[in-house]
């Protein structure tokens, strides 16, 4: 990879101001030697993907702490396992008007009600969910002060 970019003159490589890449750490140091003046920027897709994966890992960890032999915690476990995709959605995309029958709850619920119920099972999950929603909002609205603050 270095040899490919070294084909370009040093003068040309010094003019490069930004490099957009995924979060692979090995590229960072490599590209800094080839493009010393460039600022590395992580692309939007990989940033959001990393946020979602981190939250999902926490959800699984919290879910696995529930005692499945306890009837109530077993229900919570199954619900967190079944409806995980709703927790990864932007809260602005959740529907609060339409109610659907949710078999694991045995009642009609909107998406927002369902997410609120799932978050009530773990204070840590709830806290991190709201933090991540704020991050996603800041990212979506290009509010970098909020995103980095």
Q: Are residues 38 and 52 in the same domain?
A: no
Question: Which residues form the domain of 15?
Answer: 2-42
Burial pattern 48-80, b for ≥16 Cβ within 10 A else e, equals beebeeebeebbeebbeebeeeeeeeeebbebb
Q: Are residues 55 and 127 in the same domain?
A: yes
Q: Are residues 38 and 95 in the same domain?
A: no
Residue by residue, pLDDT tens for the chain (149 residues) are 788 888 999 999 999 998 888 777 777 777 778 998 988 888 888 888 999 999 999 999 999 999 888 999 999 999 999 999 999 999 999 999 999 999 999 999 999 999 999 999 999 999 999 999 999 999 889 888 888 87
Q: Are residues 80 and 136 in the same domain?
A: yes
List Cβ neighbours of 81 (8 Å cut-off, separation of 6 or more).
63
pTM above 0.75, yes or no: yes
Domain count, the chain: 2
Q: Are residues 81 and 131 in the same domain?
A: yes
Q: What is the mean pLDDT of the chain?
A: 91
Q: Are residues 77 and 35 in the same domain?
A: no
User: Nearest-5° angle of CA 67, CA 58, CA 26?
Assistant: 145
């Amino acid at each position: 990879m270095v040899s490919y970019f070294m084909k370009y003159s040093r003068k040309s490589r010094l003019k490069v101001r930004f490099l957009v890449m995924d979060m692979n750490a090995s590229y960072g140091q490599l590209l800094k030697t080839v493009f010393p003046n460039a600022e590395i920027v992580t692309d939007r897709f990989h940033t959001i993907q990393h946020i979602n994966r981190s939250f999902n890992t926490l959800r699984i960890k919290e879910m696995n702490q529930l005692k499945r032999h306890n009837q109530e915690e077993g229900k919570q476990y199954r619900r967190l396992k079944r409806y995980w995709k709703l927790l990864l959605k932007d809260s602005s995309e959740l529907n609060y008007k339409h109610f659907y029958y949710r078999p694991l709850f045995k009642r009609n619920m909107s998406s927002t009600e369902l997410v609120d119920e799932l978050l009530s099972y773990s204070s840590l999950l709830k806290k991190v969910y709201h933090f991540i929603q704020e991050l996603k909002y800041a990212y979506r609205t290009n509010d970098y002060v909020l995103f980095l603050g």
